[in-house]
Amino acid sequence: MVSDTKWKETANMQGQSSGWVRQQRQAREQLLAELHTWERQLVLHSLDEAIRLIESEKVEKLTGQHIHCIAEYDAITIDGESFFDKAFTTGKAVAACLAFAMELGWREALDDMVRFRVTVLGPGAGGGGAATGSHT
């Protein structure tokens, strides 16, 4: 038979263990939240750069070779202006988006990218270039 003292000690240890588990879970949730923030930054940086290119007049000079370079994580230069020159740009995804945009049409692709950006950031988030309004 367990004495009251032993039972209280056991209950106290379990309570401490439960508190430790709760702290671990909270720490993990905080780390995941920070990871998600960085993931959004990565996606948004690449998306913003694609939007910047499509909104510029330089998009008319974008070639399949440029898209191939982006897919290989290389920066491109069009008329002296660099695009996708930041580290960790998600080159293959951006290149695919630009290739589809080239086929779809720049305006339609730009409108879709801007809508996606608002979805990721939320409706209250401004930013971006001239195309951040509603283009339906």
DSSP string, 23-43: HHHHHHHHHHHHHHHHHHHHH
Are 100 and 112 a contacting pair, CB within 8 Å? no
pLDDT confidence of residue 54: 94
Per-residue pLDDT of the chain (136 residues; tens, 9 = 90+): 556 777 777 767 666 778 888 888 888 888 767 756 665 666 788 888 899 999 999 999 999 999 999 888 889 999 999 998 875 557 777 888 888 888 888 998 899 888 888 888 777 655 544 444 333 3
Are 82 and 76 a contacting pair, CB within 8 Å? yes
Assign residue 2 a region: left if phi > 0, alpha if psi is -120 to 50, beta otherwise? beta
pLDDT confidence of residue 34: 74
Q: Kindly report the backbone phi and psi dihedral angles of residue 25, in degrees, each rounded to the nearest multiple of 5, phi listed first.
A: -65, -45
Residues 6+ apart with CB under 8 A from 47: 113, 116, 117, 120
pLDDT confidence of residue 18: 80
pLDDT confidence of residue 42: 61
Residue where the block lists tokens 């990218």 = 113
Burial of residue 106, with CB atoms counted within 10 A of its CB: 0-12 exposed, 13-18 middle, 19 or more buried = middle
What CA–CA distance (Å, rounded) separates 120 from 48? 12
Residue 59, number of CB atoms within 10 A of its CB:
20
Domain extents for the chain? 8-123
